[in-house]
Copies of this chain bind each other. A is one copy, B any other.
Amino acid sequence: MKYGIVAFPSKKLQDLANTYRKRYDPHYALITPHITLKDAFDADEAEIGEISKHLQEVASRFAPLQIHASRISSFYPTTNAIYFRVEPTPQLENIQKSIQEKINFGAPKHVFVPHITIAQKMSASEHDDIHGQLRMVGVDEKDSIDRFHLLYQLEDGSWTTYETYKLTGAE
């Protein structure tokens, strides 16, 4: 089964991201707006109890995530995804690293750049056009996220929540 680990920002920030995703992101219907903490990885259902225990440990060490979506940026030329850039902080880097260390399934595909995707899978010219527009509009939202989620993927590509982990620590 395919699993992933994400943090959902506040409803306000999700609603804002969806105003763009509705038009520009073909994954719009598969999952609500999120910050990916660990990319999709394969695991047996038998292993998921252990994984869940590790995630519970991580969650008990970290305090609610203080995030700042500060501007609209693009991963071009790596991919043509456009996103709300979430300012990197030691807290975000540490929680991502802790999750990666504890759950050693699948190496991270790329350096951790915290973000909320709002557009992807466009042609090169669409990308340039939309990126140009959205960069000017920008974003400036601060948020506190007090939990993260382990999800699993259905055959149609959509994601269901398996479990929620509340951030109850101090880090």
**Which residues of A does B touch, CB under 8 Å?**
1, 8, 11, 14-15, 18, 22, 28-30, 32, 147, 149, 152, 154-156, 158-164, 166
Contacts and interface: CB of A to CB of B under 8 A. Distances in A.
Contacts of A14: 154, 160
A158 B158 CA distance: 12
29 contacts: A1-B11, A8-B161, A11-B152, A11-B154, A11-B160, A14-B154, A14-B160, A15-B154, A15-B155, A18-B154, A18-B155, A18-B156, A18-B158, A22-B156, A28-B29, A29-B29, A29-B30, A29-B158, A32-B154, A32-B158, A32-B160, A147-B163, A149-B161, A161-B161, A161-B164, A162-B164, A163-B164, A163-B166, A164-B164
10 pairs of A and B residues whose beta carbons are closest in the complex:
A29-B29, A161-B161, A164-B164, A32-B160, A15-B155, A163-B164, A18-B156, A8-B160, A32-B158, A14-B154
Work out how many copies of this chain go into the complex: 2
A1 B11 CA distance: 9
